[in-house]
Amino acid sequence: MKRVLIAFVVLLFAVSVYAESRLDLSGQLRVRGRSYDNFGDWGGAPGFNDDTNLDEEDYFDQRLRIYGKINVSEDVSVHLRFDFAEETWGTQGAHSNDSDIDQDRAYIEIDKDMYNFKAGRQYFGLGNSIAVDSNDVGFQATLKLPVAVTLGYVKASEGGSTADENETGDDFEDANMYLANLGYNAEIANFNLFGAYADIGESVSDDSLNAGIDYNGVDLSFKDGDQTLIGLQATAKLGIVNINAEYNYFTGTLNEGVVNSSPTRDLDIVGNQFYVDGNANVGMVKVGAELFYAMGTDEEDEIQTPIMLPSYVQKWDSFLPMGGFADTDIMDLAFGYQSAFMLAPNAGSMGAVPYVEFSPIDKLTLGANVGYFEPQEDSVTNLNSVMVAVLTADYKLYDNVGIKGQYAYASPDVDSPDANGPQDFYDAGEKTDDNAQGFFGKLYVNF
């Protein structure tokens, strides 16, 4: 399989020499270095703990990403994206292996004056890609009307088998997601009203989408369930001020749930979150702030979600505030959860992140993001608050070559061991709220 894929990519490069009008190639090669201290709980060690060195990491990694567009005809094209040699240095030996070849997009696109249609493995996102953000297989169609109408279908799982049932009559029920978006562009503001519905069917297979899910630190499996999203996203330009805001409301049910291997009642899915980013450009300086709010819950029969099924199950990318430290979310790095809208299971989030970007010369961009977060529902966690900061420098060595450096800092405030809620930030009953910091560098070439 590996030889076939490599041969195919070599063929694409060869064809591009003779048929540049039919094939467009682009991509990026990056080499990154990371150094983390007190982040996360890898190596069996808790985060935010100076008493152990198990949560220290120092390593390099790399990735070659190639994106191709094959122009079949005037209105028809084929899109593909491959990631090659995506490895951590020193872990693969002399050569990378098959697992380092990722084919995450391959789809057909028909783009006409009145409509756009895509079929295959592609990107699905709604609004700011907070609630829906995933690579999946399915269909998307957009009608190019004054109010653009986009409909989407995602096949998340076949329930463990393409058969409808097994020999004993047990069902293999599918997992599907349906999307809809109404988009309207005005002179000073753009609006997107969207919705999504996911149904997760009962399955007897251990390979099904709803079996053995690690949901933000909670061992969660369920017999079947459904989830609904309603959201509104808008951008506006008011003089020199740019506004980007989004509101998301989640509801649904996980039937006959299992939490931490113990049977429980049906779990109601809840979620109510708001995000706004306001910024202004003044000469070479961009100044702004991000605001976060997500309602948590302390009800035993409820579970908060910050993102739609199946995206959080597949654990692809999450929303990226805080300047994208280390090409990921600093909140995810610090707490191991999937979104800045949930600091701990069911805890929700309230946060503010002022930031500034400055370009003293054309090739150099400097940035600073400083944030403060608190749980919205503090009865379910002993985390009181967390301060986070990210400093960034991005320098263009040449037109398509750059080097990026970042420093991140996180400082949590944790209650005493006898506080209410899960003791998420303790090791053997002792406080573990020491500061964490990390350094990150990246050399990249865009082509």
Domain ranges of the chain: 24-75+110-446
Q: Which of 14-18, 277-281, 433-437 has the highest mean pLDDT?
A: 277-281
pTM of the entire predicted model: 0.86
CA atoms of 230 and 127, how far apart (whole Å): 11
**Average of per-residue pLDDT values in the chain:** 82
Single-letter residue type at 309: L
Strand pairing class (262-263; 241-259): antiparallel
**The pLDDT of residue 261 is above 70:** no
**The pLDDT of residue 217 is above 50:** no
pLDDT at 408: 94
Better pLDDT: 19 or 386: 386
pLDDT at 81: 93
pLDDT at 155: 87
Query: Please, which pLDDT band fits residue 103 given cuts at 50, 70 and 90?
Result: confident
Better pLDDT: 390 or 38: 390
Joined together, the tokens standing for residue 316 give: 């692809």
pLDDT at 420: 46
Say which CATH topology domain 24-75+110-446 has.
Porin (2.40.160)
pLDDT at 424: 54
Average pLDDT over residues 356-370: 94
Average pLDDT over residues 5-30: 69
Better pLDDT: 20 or 365: 365
Least confident window among 28-32, 323-327, 374-378: 323-327
**The pLDDT of residue 395 is above 70:** yes
Single-letter residue type at 213: I
Per-residue three-class SS string for the chain: CHHHHHHHHHHHHHHHHHCCCCEEEEEEEEEEEEEEECCCCHHHCCCCCCCCCCCEEEEEEEEEEEEEEEECCCCEEEEEEEEEEEEECCCCCCCCCHHHCEEEEEEEEEECCCEEEEEEEEEEECCCCCCCEEEEEEEEEEECCCCEEEEEEEEEECCCCCCCECCCCCEECCEEEEEEEEEEECCCEEEEEEEEEEEECCECCCCCCCCCEEECCEEEEEEEEEEEEEEEEEEEEECCEEEEEEEEEEEEEEEEEEECCEECCCEEEEEEEEEEEEEEEECCEEEEEEEEEECCCCCCCEEECCCCCCHHHHCCCCCCCHHHHHHCCHHHHHHCCCCCCCCCCCCCEEEEEEEEEEEEECCEEEEEEEEEEECCCHHHCCEEEEEEEEEEEEEECCCCEEEEEEEEEEEEEECCCCCCCCCCCEECCEECCCCEEEEEEEEEEEC
Average pLDDT over residues 419-433: 55
Average pLDDT over residues 239-254: 93
Better pLDDT: 222 or 52: 52
Better pLDDT: 208 or 243: 243
pLDDT at 4: 53
pLDDT at 355: 96
Neighbours of 308 (CB within 10 A): 29
Single-letter residue type at 287: V
pLDDT at 41: 58
**The pLDDT of residue 197 is above 70:** yes
pLDDT at 256: 65
pLDDT at 301: 82
Maximum CA pair distance of the chain? 71
Average pLDDT over residues 17-42: 80
Joined together, the tokens standing for residue 151 give: 């409909």
59 half-sphere exposure, CB direction, 13 A CA radius: 9
Sequence-separated (6 or more) residues with CB below 8 Å from residue 68: 12, 23, 24, 25, 79, 80, 81
CA atoms of 41 and 276, how far apart (whole Å): 31
What is the separation of C-alpha 353 from the centre of its chain, rounded to a whole number of angstroms? 19
Query: Please, which pLDDT band fits residue 204 given cuts at 50, 70 and 90?
Result: very low
